[in-house]
Amino acid sequence: MFKELNPLLHSELRLAVMSVLLSVESADFVFLREQTGATAGNLSVQLDKLQKAGYITIEKGFKGKMPRTTCAITQEGVSAFEEYVAALRSYIGKGI
């Protein structure tokens, strides 16, 4: 049988955010928006969903006088991503 795909990570934007965060220690909101091509509003909503799931942390602060939002992936997020990739591989392997 096929492994179940994590519906939270099955979203293109959330998957892109997780992929970016896997390759960096942390990333600010502007960098994530540029990397994913998302609108600020959509990215904000998706980051909130990932944070509520415990997959990322979000810190809000200031750089000088400018507000800055920084995100980082959690160990739970890394595990969820790895499980998602393993599930995808179960689908790919069935078709070959």
pLDDT value for 2: 79
- Higher local confidence (pLDDT), 1 or 68: 68
Nearest alpha carbon to residue 17 among 68, 63, 84: 84
Q: Half-sphere exposure of residue 13, counting CA atoms within 13 Å on the CB side?
A: 17
Structure tokens of 48? 């909130």
Tens of pLDDT, residue by residue over 20-43, are: 999 999 999 999 999 999 999 999
pTM (2 d.p.):
0.91
Q: Cα Rg for the chain, rounded, in angstroms? A: 15
The CATH class for the domain spanning 12-89 reads mainly alpha
Res 96 pLDDT > 70 = no
pLDDT value for 95: 56
Using CB atoms within 10 Å of the CB of residue 88, give its burial: 0 to 12 exposed, 13 to 18 middle, 19+ buried.
middle
Domain boundaries, the chain: 12-89
